[in-house]
Structure 1
Amino acid sequence: MQRGRTSRTAAAMAVVTALAVAGCTADDKTPQAAESPSVPPSFAPGAEGAGDAYFPKYGNGGYDVAGYDLKLDYAPASGRLGGTATITATATQDLSAFHLDLARLTAAEVTVDGQPATSKADGNELVVTPAAGIVKGKAFTVVVDYSGKPQPLQNEALGVGGWLRTKDGAFALGQPESASTWFPVNDHPSDKATFALAMTVPDGVEVLSNGVPGERATGAGKTTWRWTESKPLASYLAFVVIGQYRVQSTIHDGKPMVIALPASLPASSNAARSLSRTAAVTDFLATQFGPYPFDANGGVVLDDDRVGYALETQSRPVYGNTFFVSQPNTTVVVHELAHQWYGDSVALSRWQDIWLNEGFATYAEWLWQEHEGERTAQQSFDRAYSGFDWSVPTGDPGPDRLFGDAVYQRGAMTVHALRRTIGDPAFFALLKSWPAEHRDGNATTEEFIAAAEQAAGGKDLGELFEAWLFGKQKPPLP
C-alpha cells in the first residue's frame, strides 16, 4: 500500500457518518445454528479468529481454504448484491462447526459437501454447522447463497475498508480487511487461496478484478464479466471495481495487461500517463527481483475522494487518483508493482511483519529513482536517516501504525543497511532468491533474517536486525 495526500481517517469518518444517518445495521435474518447429533463429542468448532497478535479476530481457525469461486449479480441502481460463493477447503482439525467472515450480508442457504448445513450470523461472522463432523485432513466444499446491500467496515486505527457504493457502481478495496464485506471468506493473509469471479451487471457497466480476464457473456440486458486469479492470494488483495471505465487490454511478455481508467478522467490524464509506464516498471523490477510472479498485470485508477491510497491488489494494483492530481507519478506505480513480489507472491503470515511488504516496496522506489538517473539509493537513505524519529520499532510497529514511516522509510533503511553490511553481490542475489523460494506462500521476519544470514555466507546478522528493526534509538551506520 502507498498512502496518498487524502487523509484515510477523514474519509473514514465521512463514510461512518453517512452510515449512521442512513441507519445501516448488520442483517440478522440468517437461519439459527444447531448442534448436529451426528458429530462425535471429540470434534470442536474452529476458532473465530486466526489468532494474529494485532487483530486476533481477523480470519478463522480450523480449516485452510484452497479456492473461492464467486458467481454474483450487482444492481448499481439499488446497490444490491447477490449470488453464490463456492469455497473449497481442508479441515486442519476435527470440526463440528466453523466460522466464515461475512459482514452485513445475509446467508439464505449453506451447504457443506452438498448437504444442507445450519448457519447463524454472529456480528461479522457466519457460523456454519455441517450435518456431520468434518475429519481433520478432509477436503470439503462449502456453498453459500447470500445477498444484501454491502457496506464498508470501520477500523478505528486504519479507517474504512471494503465495499463502497458509487454513483455508477461500486468498488471493494482495503487493508487490512475488506473481502468480508462482499463474500464469505477466511479474512487473514495467512490463508491464501485462488480466486475466481463472475460478476453480472447491466450492459454498459464495466467490472475489473484480479487475474486473467475471461470471455464475457451477454443477454437480457446484462453482461457477465469473468476474472480468474490462479495463484493463491491473501484475501485483502482481492478486489472488484464496477462502473464506467475505459479498459485497455494488451499483451506484455506473453501475459494480459489490463489497464482501466475512469471515464471521468481525460484519456491524456496524469493517471493515464503514469500507468502507461506499467510495462517498463515491471521489466525493470524483474531485473532486480526475478521473473514477474503472476499470469496477468495492469492497474485500475479510482476517481473517488474516499480513496487517498494505492493498494497492491494482486496482479492489478488499484490507485486513488490523488496520486496523479498535479503531475504524472511513476513512483507509486513502482511501489505497488514491487509488492507483486514482496507482499503478494510472498505474503505476510502476521500483520506485525508488514515491513517485509512496505520496506522492500519503498526500497524499490529508491532503486527506480537511481535507474532513472535521479538520486541514488544511498542518497535516498541519507535523506531518510538524517532526521528520522526512531521511537517506533519497524519490526513491531503496533496495529495503529501499520502504515507509518517506521514501516515504510525505516523499513527501506533496514534493507539498505543490510545491503551495506553483506555487499552488493549477496544482497542482489537475496532480492531474487527470497521471492523465488517463498513464491505463492507466506513468510515471517525470522525467516527473512535466516535467509539473509545464509546469503551472507553464514554471517550472524542478529545485532544488525535488532538495531534496525526493533531498537528505539538511532542505529549506527553499517
Structure 2
Amino acid sequence: MVSCPRRIAVVPRYVRSVLVLLLLTACSGGGGQGADGAAGVGDPYFPKSGNGGYDVTHYGLTLAYDPEGAPALTASAAITARAGQDLDSFHLDLKGLDVKEVTVEGTRADWSRSGQELKVRPAHPLDKGETFRVTVAYSGTPRPISDPDGSTEGWLRTADGALALGEPVGSMAWFPGNHHPSDKASYDIAVTVPKDLTAVSNGEPAGERTTGSRRTFTWHTREPMASYLATLAIGRYTVTRSTTKDGLPVYVAVDPSQKSASREVLARLPEVMDWARLNFGPYPFSSTGAIVDRPEDAGYALETQNRPVFPGAPDTATLVHEIAHQWFGDSVTPRTWRDMWLNESFATYAEWLWEEDEGGATAEETFTDLYDNGEDDYPDLWDFPPGDPPTAADISSDPVYQRGAMIIHRIRRTVGDDTFYDLVQGWTATHRHGTADTDDFTAYVEKQAPDEDFDEIEEIWDDWLYGKGKPELP
C-alpha cells in the first residue's frame, strides 16, 4: 500500500500537479496497490481528509435531532460506493459521535476507530469495480470543529436548533463519508425534528410529514455535491417558495429576526441569478435560494450548494459572491484544497463585475485601486501567491480572494472581453459537476487564448499566480 505523506514537498510548479495527481491516484487505490483502502487521499493541506480505494456515488442520511435530547442526534448513513481496487478494508471520515453498528451489503462488518478514521472490514472482501452499500448507525451530540485559520465549522448549536457547515472538513462532524472535494455524490437527507422546528438542506424538498410531536423533512440533491457543500439548518424559519421567470424553484429560509433586514436584498435574488447566468453560463443546479440565520450563529457566509448560508442579512455584494460560487466551487469543484483560489478568485471578481454593470467602479478601477492601495485594507495581500498558500490556515486568506481576482482581471485585460466571457463560460461548461485543479485551468486558458497573447498569459502565471511579492505591471 502506498504511504501518503502529510504534506507534498515544494516542487517546481510544472511538476506539482502531476505529483499531486499521482499521490491522489495512488492513495485512492487507483494504482491497485494492496487490499486496504488508504486513510486519506494525500491532500497537500488536509492529508487525512478523504479515503482511498472507493468512490461514493450516493449518500442516504436519516437523522433525528432533538436539541434537548441525550443523545441529541440519532442517525443512520447509507453510503453507496464503487470499489476502485480490491478491498479487504476501507475507511470513512467521522469526527466524534458513537458508532453502534456497521454493515456492508446487509452483513455486519467489523470496525474500529482512530481519530477521525472509521475503519471498516467487510465480512467478505470487495472486488475492484464492485458497487457496494455500507450502512453506519450512530448517535451522539455533534460538535463544532476548529479550522487551522481559527474559524469554526461542523455542527454549530444555535438559539433554536443547529447549523451544519462543512468547509473544509466540518461535514465529518455529523455524518460519515469520504470527506474530500475530489469525491462528489448525490444526496437524500431525511431529518426528524420537534414539530415547531424546520429542517432545511440542499437540493429540493422531497416530502414532509408530521407524526405526533415530530416532523420529518426530506431533501433530495440529484446533482453531484462535495460533502463540504452539504448543509443542514434546523430552527424556526420563515420559509418562502417561489420560482424565477423561467421556472427555476427558489427556496428561501430566514430566521424571523432577520426577515425585515433581508427582504430587500433577497428580492434581488432572481435578478442576480439572471445576471450570473448571462456572465457564467447556464445555471448548473435544479433550484436556488438562501438560508439566513442570526449573525451570532456563524461568523461567515458559505456557498452551500443550491442554498448559500448567510450570518444575518447579506448585502448585495455578498449575495453575488455566494451565488457566483454555485458555478465556481459548487459545480466546478477544486480537486484539492490547494486549488481553493479557483473558487474565491472568480467569486470575488463577480463582485467587481456586478459593481461595474451596476454603474459603479469599473473592474479596471477596482484592480488599480487594489494594486495601489490594497495593503491598507488587506495587509497580507502580497504575502504569498494564490496558487501556493504556505499552510492550511492560508487557503482562505486575502491573497486567495483579492490577488486571485486580480489574476482573473489580468486575463480579461489580456484577451479582451469577447474571448474572456467565452473562456469563462467554456470553463464552467467543460468541468460542469466535476472537479478541476489549477493546471487544468492554466492549460484551458492557454488553449483558448489567442496565440499572440501566450507570452503575456505565461507572465500572469509566473508573476501573479505563483510569483512572490508584489508583481510589477507592464
More moved, 234-243 vs 457-466:
457-466
Are the aligned partners of 1:261 and 1:272 in contact in 2 as well (CA < 8 Å)? Answer: no
1:75 partner letter:
D
Q: CA deviation at 1:277?
A: 1.4
1:368 corresponds to which residue? 354
1:219 pairs with 200, 211, 218, which one?
211
Cα distance in structure 2, aligned partners of 1:155 and 1:298: 27
2:431 corresponds to which residue? 438
> What pairs up with 1:377-396 in 2 under 5 angstroms?
377-388=363-374, 389-396=381-388
Compute the TM-score of the two structures, normalised by the length of structure 1: 0.87
SS of 1:195's equivalent in the other structure is strand
1:54 corresponds to which residue? 45
> What pairs up with 1:132-151 in 2 under 5 angstroms?
132-151=124-143
Cα distance in structure 2, aligned partners of 1:204 and 1:292: 34
2:300 corresponds to which residue? 309
2:248 corresponds to which residue? 255
Task: Determine if the alignment matches structure 1 residue 353 to structure 2 residue 339.
Answer: yes
1:206 corresponds to which residue? 198
2:267 partner letter:
S
Are the aligned partners of 2:149 and 2:393 in contact in 1 as well (CA < 8 Å)? Answer: yes
Cα distance in structure 2, aligned partners of 1:201 and 1:102: 22
Cα distance in structure 1, aligned partners of 2:209 and 2:435: 36
2:154 partner letter:
G
Distance 1:93 1:463, change over 3 A: same
Cα distance in structure 2, aligned partners of 1:464 and 1:153: 37
Q: CA deviation at 1:306?
A: 4.7
1:83 pairs with 70, 75, 87, which one?
75
Are the aligned partners of 1:417 and 1:477 in contact in 2 as well (CA < 8 Å)? Answer: no
Are the aligned partners of 2:346 and 2:405 in contact in 1 as well (CA < 8 Å)? Answer: yes
RMSD: 1.4
Cα distance in structure 2, aligned partners of 1:67 and 1:142: 11
Residue by residue over 1:415-437, the C-alpha shift from the partner in whole angstroms, topping out at 9 and shown as x without a partner, is 00011111111111011000101
Q: Which runs of 5+ in 2 are unaligned?
A: 1-32, 375-380
Q: Which runs of 5+ in 1 are unaligned?
A: 1-41
Q: CA deviation at 1:254?
A: 1.7
Are the aligned partners of 1:238 and 1:313 in contact in 2 as well (CA < 8 Å)? Answer: yes
Q: CA deviation at 1:283?
A: 0.6
Q: Tell me the number of residue pairs that the alignment of Structure 1 and Structure 2 aligns.
A: 430
1:285 partner letter:
A
SS of 2:56's equivalent in the other structure is strand
Cα distance in structure 1, aligned partners of 2:229 and 2:291: 13
1:330 pairs with 302, 307, 316, which one?
316
Residue by residue over 1:22-66, the C-alpha shift from the partner in whole angstroms, topping out at 9 and shown as x without a partner, is xxxxxxxxxxxxxxxxxxxx8521111111011111111111100
Are the aligned partners of 2:384 and 2:469 in contact in 1 as well (CA < 8 Å)? Answer: no
Compute the TM-score of the two structures, normalised by the length of structure 2: 0.88
Cα distance in structure 1, aligned partners of 2:299 and 2:160: 20
Q: CA deviation at 1:217?
A: 1.2
Are the aligned partners of 1:356 and 1:445 in contact in 2 as well (CA < 8 Å)? Answer: yes
Cα distance in structure 1, aligned partners of 2:73 and 2:63: 7
SS of 2:207's equivalent in the other structure is coil
Q: CA deviation at 1:475?
A: 2.2
Question: Quick one: percent identity of the two aligned structures?
Answer: 48
> What pairs up with 1:106-121 in 2 under 5 angstroms?
106-121=98-113
1:426 partner letter:
T
Task: Determine if the alignment matches structure 1 residue 186 to structure 2 residue 144.
Answer: no
SS of 2:88's equivalent in the other structure is strand
Cα distance in structure 1, aligned partners of 2:426 and 2:247: 23
1:71 pairs with 62, 67, 73, which one?
62
Are the aligned partners of 1:43 and 1:133 in contact in 2 as well (CA < 8 Å)? Answer: no
1:276 partner letter:
A
2:273 corresponds to which residue? 282
Q: CA deviation at 1:402?
A: 1.2
Cα distance in structure 2, aligned partners of 1:383 and 1:133: 60
Are the aligned partners of 1:59 and 1:188 in contact in 2 as well (CA < 8 Å)? Answer: yes
Residue by residue over 1:248-269, the C-alpha shift from the partner in whole angstroms, topping out at 9 and shown as x without a partner, is 011123222111111233x321
Cα distance in structure 2, aligned partners of 1:205 and 1:390: 46
Cα distance in structure 2, aligned partners of 1:315 and 1:158: 26
Cα distance in structure 2, aligned partners of 1:204 and 1:157: 36
Cα distance in structure 2, aligned partners of 1:387 and 1:174: 34
Specify which structure has the bigger relative contact order, considering alpha-carbon pairs within 8 angstroms and separated by 6 or more residues: 1
Q: CA deviation at 1:304?
A: 4.2
